[in-house]
Amino acid sequence: MSPRALLFALLCPWLASAAPQRPDIVFLLIDDLGYADCGFNGGKQILTPTIDRLAKAGTVLEHFYVQPVCSPTRSTLLTGRYPTRTGVYSIVSPHATWGLPLAERTLADALKQAGYSTQIVGKWHLGEFKPEYLPLSRGFEHHYGHYFGMLDYFTHERGGELDWYRDGKALKEEGYTTHLLRDEACRIINRQPKDKPLFLYVPFNGVHGPFQAPETYLKPYPNLKNNRQKLAGMLAAVDEAIARIEDSLRQAGRLENTLIVFSSDNGGPPPGDNTPLRDHKGTIYEGGVRAAAFACWPGHIPAGQRLREPLHMVDWYPTLIKLGGGSLEQKLPIDGLDLWPTLTQGAPSPHDAILCVSTQGPVRAAVRMGEWKLLQLNATEEAAEDEADGAKAKAKGKAAKATAKYEPLALYHLTEDPSETKNLAATQPDRVKAMQARLAALLKDAVPPGNAAPRK
């Protein structure tokens, strides 16, 4: 806890009052959503009425951090631990012989122990090469959806191989994946016992490529072209799905006591819009690691609030376990901190520093402290270039050329320069030194990437 946060807690003990009755929890994770693709974050091109209404009814998290790509963000949510603890720095590819380490306790484990029904509808992406790595072995009672990304939205195949399952069994069925996930989420809500709390984790495959949408979703966007038009249709389908999920909660009499959390898993790749942030998915610039996010629970979370305090995906782990009446006692240390006082009562961020690490591990890392962010090369320049080149290779066309080369050391003031254009490292030597020391402490015991671990 930072000195400012500690002082706040000491001066205002009433903020530590008892949490409300434990809620149902619906966590909506949107794949590859751009920071400014939705209206609540300034988007003008794509209609997202349901998402925008829920954001307005709750609190928008303007400085909410995730990881540069899919799998690491999912690991931070489910463990409350940075990739430096788990080794999940990069994407877990199909049939890779690694995944989220089995020693990790998951959010689903904790909430299940607290009496919750634990359900996942959507993309897993944390390993499937052995049954013990699958959702049903990681605290979830039910899984419907797929294990990896780049899924064809109509055939449910990746590279010609079916990737669609119900509770670990391959499932061949027709339908647009966003619709199928929507319908399954609604079924779960409708059959949920009224006296049992629900944790429903919905990691949509939308709006991740390939860019595919039913024609009806494209018609409202005749002025958009190519993949931008298709992304608009895909996001419109996700918005519609969320509306149906909300309506099911209402009809089941659960909506008033449901905490809805919404976030992207990383910054958007082209043609996603990350305005005004620099760069995109795969980088540790703000455009790669700052997510479009909000939380909504009327009567408990302030409506119409835009929160600028820095928070991270790891923080939902202890926060949700605490709200759910679960135990935070565990063998492995937790990096996440309770964000509830910040979210609901105006407390400062519980963090004195937030860590960002690249897809190659601590080769390239950044630390956010207050309004400042330091990016630093922590290995050979050649290793960093390999990492940067890997990020560029995932971008297409002109946008790839816009990905700037990482500097060995960079310092940005994010309030004055959210686009990270002015490197102030040379003019702030004392601040750089202090932030380098804090970053070194965060990286001190970093484990190697999981995909580099010895195979068994």
Boundary-marking domain end, from 345, 378, 398: 345
Predicted pLDDT at 378: 84
Number of domains making up the chain: 2
Domain check: are 97 and 188 in the same one?
A: yes
CA dihedral for 125, 129, 134, 138, sign (positive or negative): negative
DSSP 221-241: -TTS-HHHHHHHHHHHHHHHH
The pTM score is 0.92
Predicted pLDDT at 456: 34
Which residues fall within 8 angstroms of residue 289, CB to CB, at 6 or more apart? 65, 66, 67, 68, 266, 267, 283, 356, 366
Boundary-marking domain end, from 286, 320, 345: 345
Boundary-marking domain end, from 345, 368, 389: 345
Query: Within a domain: residue 180?
Result: yes
Domain check: are 298 and 363 in the same one?
A: no
Per-residue pLDDT for 122 more than 70? yes
- The residues that bridge with 264 in the sheet, in sequence order, are 30
Per-residue pLDDT for 81 more than 70? yes
Per DSSP bridges, beta strands 293-296 and 305-307 are unpaired
Cα separation, 59 vs 51, in Å, equals: 12
The predicted-structure confidence for 98-119, as pLDDT tens digits, reads as follows 999 999 999 999 999 999 999 9
Per-residue pLDDT for 396 more than 60? no
Domain check: are 339 and 248 in the same one?
A: yes
Mean pLDDT of the chain: 92
The predicted-structure confidence for 207-258, as pLDDT tens digits, reads as follows 999 999 999 999 999 999 999 999 999 999 999 999 999 999 999 999 999 9
Query: Within a domain: residue 27?
Result: yes
Q: Which residue numbers are catalytic? A: 70, 125
Predicted pLDDT at 336: 98
Predicted pLDDT at 451: 80
The predicted-structure confidence for 324-374, as pLDDT tens digits, reads as follows 999 999 999 999 999 999 999 999 999 999 999 999 999 999 999 999 999
Query: Within a domain: residue 423?
Result: yes
CATH number of the domain at 440, please: 3.30.1120.10
The predicted-structure confidence for 300-333, as pLDDT tens digits, reads as follows 999 999 999 999 999 999 999 999 999 999 999 9
Domain check: are 335 and 388 in the same one?
A: no
> What range defines the domain where residue 277 resides?
22-345
Cα separation, 371 vs 95, in Å, equals: 41
Domain check: are 303 and 393 in the same one?
A: no
